[in-house]
Structure 1
Amino acid sequence: MAFLTPSAFPFLMCSNINVSLSGKIHVFWININYCGKLDKKLNGNEIWPIPIYMKTLILMVALTFTPAFILSEESSWEQLYNGKDLSGWQTTGNWIPQKDGSLLIQPREGEKGWQRYDAYLWSKKKYKDFVLHVEYKYPPGGNSGVFFRVGDLKNPVQTGIEAQVLDSIKKKGKVGPHDHGGIIRTIGASKNMSKKPGEWNRMIVTCKGSHLQVELNGEKIVDIQLDKTPMKDRPLEGYIGLQDHGVPNNLYFRNIKVREL
């Protein structure tokens, strides 16, 4: 967030422009009816009234550059799931594209247990430093996982990292590594941010070097250095995947995208 003050940009006088992380520009006008004397202070910086003739100019600048910021932000994301088919993925599992653009994992009859790694949904490309965004909803008791930096698809548990996806809404007390949002074999979420079964959850995983952060439903729940955990010897680059945990774990996923850092 940036504030423009007269000391930095005298020609803008009292304009206060707020550039948000989403790339949008918000322009605030302060007492535009008069100009020429000190009016307010913001965080110790002088804020001056804006001349009326500057209002149109600043508004034009905001409207000109805002679409460019938004376009730049959106174009930096790679859509891992196109909402139609499994292009870009590899799996033997029963992952079914839905009419609403979501993706259903519906294990076939007799497909039980989680040690069927080829049935997981794997990216064809490896990723190193990135921000991964995924939304999902589970049934009561539903279980899955978001895998990343997996070095060997035949052994993802030992060569990758998993953020747990689990219906933990009824969990009481402190949540652990095997509860929703936890990093398996490493650390539990700092807070239980689970939604009710049937409601959409949003997980954002950020990996940069050994630094790992996980955000769940708007709350940062994991912030660790992997080189100081049991995951210290795991690859720093690998595949991204979603877990097929077997019958009866039918889960829906959508808005699966990644932005490389």
Structure 2
Amino acid sequence: MKYFLLACTFLLLTNPTIAQEFEPIFNGKDLSGWTIHGTEHWYVEDGELVCESGPDKEYGYLTTDKTYKNFVLSLDFKQESNGNSGVFIRSSVEGTKIEGWQVEVAPLGSHTGGIYESYGRGWLKKPSPEDEKALKPGEWNHMVIRVEGDKVTSWLNDKKMVALEDQKIGQATGSIALQIHSATEGNEVKVRWKNLHIKVLD
């Protein structure tokens, strides 16, 4: 019994999806509280947030009007067509150039859950090939991102993907941003999002 209680306590302390009180950052009706950057399409359909390639088929972003430093973000995504996207933390956007760190959302084998620094150092940490198999292509996937101080940890479908400690990330504050990747003709991007909730830690 003693070891069972210790195990339960460990789960409560380390799993951000347990015993946490989250608030929605997407109301399921419109894009209130968010700003579109670029010409790609962002809209609400059946209570879900949808992004898909627009006329320029370039990078686009949807950023929160609020900024966040330490938080746990919980969301669901489903990749349709080419599902290349991502979730940025502590980010800022000028035009369609973003500064910040992306937790990758991409097709199978393209490092979903890994952490990438745009216009900077590139890949900071990728999940193992075995862990990447947690992605369910064409189905709803659950992602959790915990950002606290210098530390960023990602989970995909309850599988821990990466944990990174980085001083540069620790110094930043900024928006949460959803990305739509650039596309080629006949390979447009489309991703659906829902259940976007946040728990502020500071």
TM-score clears 0.5: yes
Instruction: Name the residue aligned to 2:52.
Output: 106
Instruction: Name the residue aligned to 1:188.
Output: 126
Distance 1:182 1:138 in 2: 17
Contact 2:74 2:143 (C-alpha < 8 Å) held by counterparts: yes
Aligned-pair identity in percent equals: 32
Compute the displacement of 1:193 (Å). Answer: 3.7
Instruction: Name the residue aligned to 1:84.
Output: 29
| Aligned pair partner of 1:245 in 173, 181, 200 | 181
Query: Residues 33-65 of structure 1: CA distance to partner in whole angstroms, max 9, x if unpaired?
Result: xxxxxxxxxxxxxxxxxxxxxxxxxxxxxxxxx
| Aligned pair partner of 1:97 in 44, 54, 67 | 44
Mapping of 1:65-84 within 5 angstroms?
76-84=21-29
The reply to whether residue 148 of structure 1 matches residue 89 of structure 2 is yes
Instruction: Name the residue aligned to 1:179.
Output: 111
Structure 2, unmatched stretches of 5+, are 14-18, 117-122
Structure 1, unmatched stretches of 5+, are 6-17, 23-72, 172-177
Distance 2:73 2:85 in 1: 16
* Corresponding residue SS for 2:161: strand
Compute the displacement of 1:250 (Å). Answer: 0.8
Q: Does the C-alpha gap of structure 1 residues 125 and 246 become closer, same or farther in structure 2, counting only changes over 3 Å?
A: same
* Corresponding residue SS for 2:85: strand
Instruction: Name the residue aligned to 2:119.
Output: none
More strand by share: 2
* Corresponding residue SS for 1:87: coil
Letter in 2 for 1:186: L
Compute the displacement of 1:196 (Å). Answer: 3.4
| Aligned pair partner of 2:139 in 199, 206, 219 | 199
* Corresponding residue SS for 2:125: coil
Which of these two proteins has the greater Rg computed from alpha carbons? 1
Distance 2:99 2:69 in 1: 14
Task: Tell me the TM-score normalised to structure 1 length.
Answer: 0.61
Instruction: Name the residue aligned to 1:121.
Output: 62
Contact 1:136 1:251 (C-alpha < 8 Å) held by counterparts: yes
Task: Tell me the TM-score normalised to structure 2 length.
Answer: 0.77
Contact 2:135 2:156 (C-alpha < 8 Å) held by counterparts: no
- Aligned residues: CA RMSD: 2.8
